[in-house]
């Protein structure tokens, strides 16, 4: 395949969303997620391009998906391709956004008049219908079953995975001085060799869809910096990546742009973990994963 100037192969674009482009994958049953620098908020009413955001989200999401997979949560993630792209299993996206909240913020405060920062008595799981034209309205289990967006088995799987993701990520972020306030997950359907259905974690987990606050200062480090014009969005994302040990102390930005050589180098590390996972499958005597 011919390469374009920015290292991307020419291939079929399947979909372009607000933050990512989906390309046809290099193997059957796969797609490539390309992380753009575009930032949008409030259903794309607010837009900007923020250098470095895509690279950092690609890196952070690849890392978190790999960790979750190692914890036994099935994900779409296969491997990192380069600093902006990752290969994932192609899934049929369940048209729901599953939001888990530990601390009141954002639309929950607006809807119920709660003070921002109130710690919830227990994690709260909410569902939103994934539909940009309608502004992703909040829906109940009854809506989900009535309109057939997911069946009770699928919803059960999604909710139990969402709780496990919350347990794991809350602990992990707390260990590096960050508070996981809330996050949004998307899930997809995958069918096995015998037609069996698997629900897997899809899309991305990054500061674009998690609220993360510094545990000591309370500083917001996520997309709220963009939503509410707090500035320094990429610095917040980079700080999270540094805390996770994904980028060096000095960061990956050089004079407002990404240090491409460094970012490219770092993007290969996650592949080592994917290789480890394949080796584990082989050791267990199971069928090795193709990817
Ligand atoms: P949006 O569509 O909300 O603007 P993005 O810009 O992030 O969001 O676009 C990525 C799109 O790809 C989303 O609609 C998401 O549901 C979808 N997607 C995520 N993971 C997969 C996958 N593994 N297979 C197919 N589609 C996916
Ligand atoms: N989210 C929801 N829709 C899109 C996104 N990114 C995420 C937010 C926040 C959580 O879901 O980033 O972490 C709850 O969002 P809100 O706006 O409902 O308070
Ligand atoms: N992701 C949505 C948007 O881009 C909502 C948000 O993040 O505020 O508009």
**Which tens digit of pLDDT belongs to each residue from 1-20?**
444 445 455 789 999 999 99
What one-character DSSP code corresponds to residue 20? Answer: E
Question: How much is the CA Rg of the chain, to the nearest whole Å?
Answer: 19
Average pLDDT, the chain: 92
What one-character DSSP code corresponds to residue 134? Answer: G
CA of 116 to the centre of ligand 1 (A): 29
State the closest ligand 1 atom to the C-alpha of 130, by its place in the atom list counted from 1. 3
228-255 pLDDT, tens per residue?
Answer: 999 999 999 999 999 998 888 888 988 8
Q: Which fold has domain 13-91+253-283?
A: Phosphorylase Kinase; domain 1 (3.30.200)
The pLDDT score that the predictor gives to residue 1 is 43
Domains 13-91+253-283 and 92-243 share a fold: no
Residue 214 has pLDDT above 50, yes or no: yes
145 in Cβ contact with 152 (< 8 Å):
yes
Residue 279 has pLDDT above 80, yes or no: no
Q: How far apart are CA 117 and CA 44, in angstroms?
A: 25
Residue 187 has pLDDT above 80, yes or no: yes
101 in Cβ contact with 182 (< 8 Å):
yes
108-141 pLDDT, tens per residue?
Answer: 999 999 999 999 999 999 999 999 999 999 999 9
Residue 288 has pLDDT above 60, yes or no: no
Q: How far apart are CA 104 and CA 115, in angstroms?
A: 7
For 264, the token pair is: 């490219």
Cβ of 174 below 6 Å from ligand 3: no
Host H or E run for residue 264: helix 260-267
Ligand number, closest to the Cα atom of 227: 3
CA of 108 to the centre of ligand 1 (A): 24
Q: How long, in residues, is the chain?
A: 291
Cβ of 43 below 6 Å from ligand 3: yes
Residue 276 has pLDDT above 80, yes or no: no
At 254 the three-state DSSP class reads: strand
Ligand number, closest to the Cα atom of 209: 2
What one-character DSSP code corresponds to residue 139? Answer: E
C-beta atoms surrounding 162 within 10 Å: 21
> What pLDDT band is residue 166 in, cutting at 50, 70 and 90?
very high
The mean per-residue pLDDT over the stretch 92-118 comes to 98
* Beta strands at 119-129 and 138-139: parallel, antiparallel or unpaired: antiparallel
CA of 190 to the centre of ligand 1 (A): 15
23-76 pLDDT, tens per residue?
Answer: 999 999 999 999 999 999 998 999 999 999 999 999 999 999 999 999 999 999
Q: Which CATH superfamily is domain 92-243 in?
A: ATP-grasp fold, B domain (3.30.470.20)
Which residue's C-alpha comes closest to atom 18 of ligand 2?
Answer: 107
Rounded percentage of the chain residues whose pLDDT exceeds 70: 89
What's the predicted TM-score (pTM) here? 0.92
- Could you please report the per-residue DSSP string of 74-99? -BSEEEEEETTEEEEE--EE-SEEEE
Q: At what angle do helices 53-70 and 269-283 cross, to 10 degrees?
A: 20
Per-domain residue ranges for the chain? 13-91+253-283, 92-243
213 in Cβ contact with 220 (< 8 Å):
yes
Nearest to 185 by CA among 61, 63, 83, 273: 61
Which residues have any ligand 1 atom within 6 Å of their CB? Answer: 15, 17-20, 22, 31, 76, 88-91, 93, 186, 188, 202-203
Ligand number, closest to the Cα atom of 96: 1
Q: How far apart are CA 230 and CA 237, in angstroms?
A: 13
The mean per-residue pLDDT over the stretch 142-152 comes to 98
The pLDDT score that the predictor gives to residue 2 is 41
Which residues, at least 6 apart from 118, have a Cβ–Cβ distance to it below 8 Å? 103, 104
CA of 266 to the centre of ligand 1 (A): 24
């Amino acid at each position: 395949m011919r390469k374009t100037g920015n290292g991307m192969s020419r291939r079929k674009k399947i979909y372009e969303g607000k933050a990512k482009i989906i390309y046809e994958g290099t193997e059957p049953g796969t797609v490539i997620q390309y992380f753009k620098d575009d930032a949008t908020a409030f259903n794309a009413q607010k837009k900007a391009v923020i250098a470095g955001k895509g690279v950092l989200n690609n890196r952070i999401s690849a890392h978190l998906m790999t960790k979750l997979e190692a914890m036994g949560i099935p994900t779409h993630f296969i491997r990192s391709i380069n600093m902006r792209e990752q290969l994932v299993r192609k899934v049929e996206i369940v048209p729901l956004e599953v939001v888990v909240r530990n601390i009141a913020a954002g639309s929950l405060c607006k809807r119920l008049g709660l003070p921002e920062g109130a710690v919830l008595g227990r994690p709260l799981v909410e569902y939103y219908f994934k539909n940009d034209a309608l502004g992703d309205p909040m829906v109940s289990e009854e809506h989900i079953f009535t309109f057939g967006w997911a069946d009770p088995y699928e919803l059960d799987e999604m909710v139990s995975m969402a709780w496990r993701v919350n347990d794991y990520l809350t602990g992990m972020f707390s260990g590096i001085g960050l508070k996981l306030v809330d996050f949004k997950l998307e899930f997809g359907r995958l069918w096995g060799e015998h037609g069996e259905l698997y629900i897997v974690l899809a899309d991305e987990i990054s500061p674009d869809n998690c609220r993360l606050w510094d545990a000591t200062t309370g500083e917001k480090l996520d997309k709220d910096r963009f939503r509410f014009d707090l500035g320094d969005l990429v610095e917040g994302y980079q700080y999270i990546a540094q805390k996770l040990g994904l980028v060096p102390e000095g960061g990956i930005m050089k004079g407002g742009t990404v240090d491409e050589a460094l970012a490219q180098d770092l993007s290969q590390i996650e592949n080592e973990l994917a290789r480890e996972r394949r080796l584990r499958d082989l050791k267990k005597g199971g069928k090795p994963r193709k990817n």
